[in-house]
Amino acid sequence: MNSAAADLQKALFFELNDDATLTALLGGQNVFDLAPDKTAFPYVTFGRTSIFDWSTGTESGTEQLCTLHIWSKAKGKKEAFDIMAAMRARLDQAPLELGAHHLVNFRFEFAEVLFDEEQAVYHGLLRFRAVIEDI
């Protein structure tokens, strides 16, 4: 049996790579679980996924908080904000297909852009909340 978290990440990966606006902003299909060495900026990586039991007396399921990271070397935050806006437009309340699980809802929770001085990059965070039931 596939885990709901793995199903969700796979669905997000395909949804993001299928978005022409996002692909243009990233200069290609630059969405990764772990970015390869020397990947050109900007790009997106999957971050932390927190999983909580959401089961009821009759249904088995999870609530998941998943974080996506946006990496940009542009001067200023605009590129990161533009990428985040495209991602949010594509994903917020998207009817993602999860294979062995049923997505009850998928909603935007949180966004932030900060400058990482150590790496000299703008780092955006997008967090979404998913409620998923087992089929």
The whole-number pLDDT of residue 2 equals 63
Domain boundaries, the chain: 4-34+43-134
Phi, psi of 14 (to 5 degrees): -70, -40
Fold of 4-34+43-134: STM4215-like (3.30.2000)
Phi, psi of 68 (to 5 degrees): -115, 140
Average pLDDT value for residue range 9-19 = 96
pLDDT for 1 equals 43
The Cα 83–Cα 46 span in angstroms is 14
The rounded percent of the chain whose pLDDT value lies above 90 is 90
Beta strand segments in 11-60, E: 31-32, 43-53
pLDDT at residue 50, as a whole number: 96
State pLDDT tens for residues 49-77. Answer: 999 998 888 888 999 999 999 999 999 99
Q: Tell me the per-residue pLDDT of 103-114, one tens digit each, with 9 for 90 and over.
A: 999 999 999 999
